[in-house]
Structure 1
Amino acid sequence: MEDWDTKYQENSQQSKNLSKQAPAVMQKFSELHAAVDQDGAVSRKNKELIALGIAIADRCENCIMAHTKAAINLGVSLEEITETIEVAVLMGGGPSVAFGGKVLNIAESLLAKK
């Protein structure tokens, strides 16, 4: 079993390093994230599920870790995550099955710690 906490911390450190090296770009990315990451016609919770589905279909492991954690923090259930994986599999095919399994592993690990 992978240690998702360690991988998440490594990813976080890599992002911090990128912010130090490319502050202007990362500042704009942070501003974009803040502008999108708000309740609107679509709730923050649903936006995280959308982002998670895209991350699965795009096979971005770092994005998967970040969006799974954010979704869990917003109160998303394992059932909602599972249905998001199902949509990602529909759109992304076989590779989304493999990465969807990673999401379930991460989500189960995070939910067990709550």
Structure 2
Amino acid sequence: MKNYIHKYEEISKQMEQLGMKIPATMRGFSALHKASVANGALPSKTKELISLGIAIAVRCDGCIAFHVHDALMGGATSEEILETIGVAICMGGGPALVYGCEAMQALEQFKAVKQ
């Protein structure tokens, strides 16, 4: 079983290190991310759930860790995250099913430390 809490922490540190090496790129990405998930016509929570669905469909472990974490921090419920996993499976087929299971593991791990 993958440790998504560890993955989140590991990638956060790696992104910080990368930011020291390519600061302009990382500042630009950070600004894009912040603007993309800000509350607007869609609330931030919804945008994180969309991001999670895409992360599952494109099979990105690190993205799954970040967007499960951020969806929970944004107020998403387990049920909302599980329904997002279901939509991603519908859109992504068998590979998304496998990564949907990964997202479920991430949800369980982040929920366990949040309690």
| Smaller-chain TM-score bracket | over 0.9
Alignment of 1:1-80 (within 5 A): 1-80=1-80
Residue 113 of structure 1 deviates from its aligned partner by 2.1
AA partner of residue 90 (structure 1): C
- Aligned mates of 1:42, 1:17 — CA distance in 2: 32
Match of 2:100 in 1: 100
- Aligned mates of 1:48, 1:24 — CA distance in 2: 24
- Aligned mates of 1:41, 1:4 — CA distance in 2: 30
TM-score (norm 1): 0.94
70-79 or 5-14, which deviates more: 5-14
- Aligned mates of 1:6, 1:47 — CA distance in 2: 24
- Aligned mates of 2:9, 2:43 — CA distance in 1: 27
Render the CA deviation track for 1:41-70: whole Å, top value 9, x for unaligned. Answer: 101000000000000000011111000000
Q: Give the gaps of 5 or more residues in structure 1.
A: none
Q: How many residues align?
A: 114
RMSD of equivalent CA atoms: 1.1
AA partner of residue 111 (structure 1): K
- Aligned mates of 2:36, 2:82 — CA distance in 1: 24
AA partner of residue 27 (structure 2): Q
Q: Give the gaps of 5 or more residues in structure 2.
A: none
| Identity rate, percent | 46
- Aligned mates of 2:97, 2:76 — CA distance in 1: 20
Alignment of 1:82-97 (within 5 A): 82-97=82-97
8 Å contact 2:48–2:71 — kept in the other structure?
Answer: yes
SS in 1 for 2:107: helix
TM-score (norm 2): 0.93
Residue 2 of structure 1 deviates from its aligned partner by 2.7
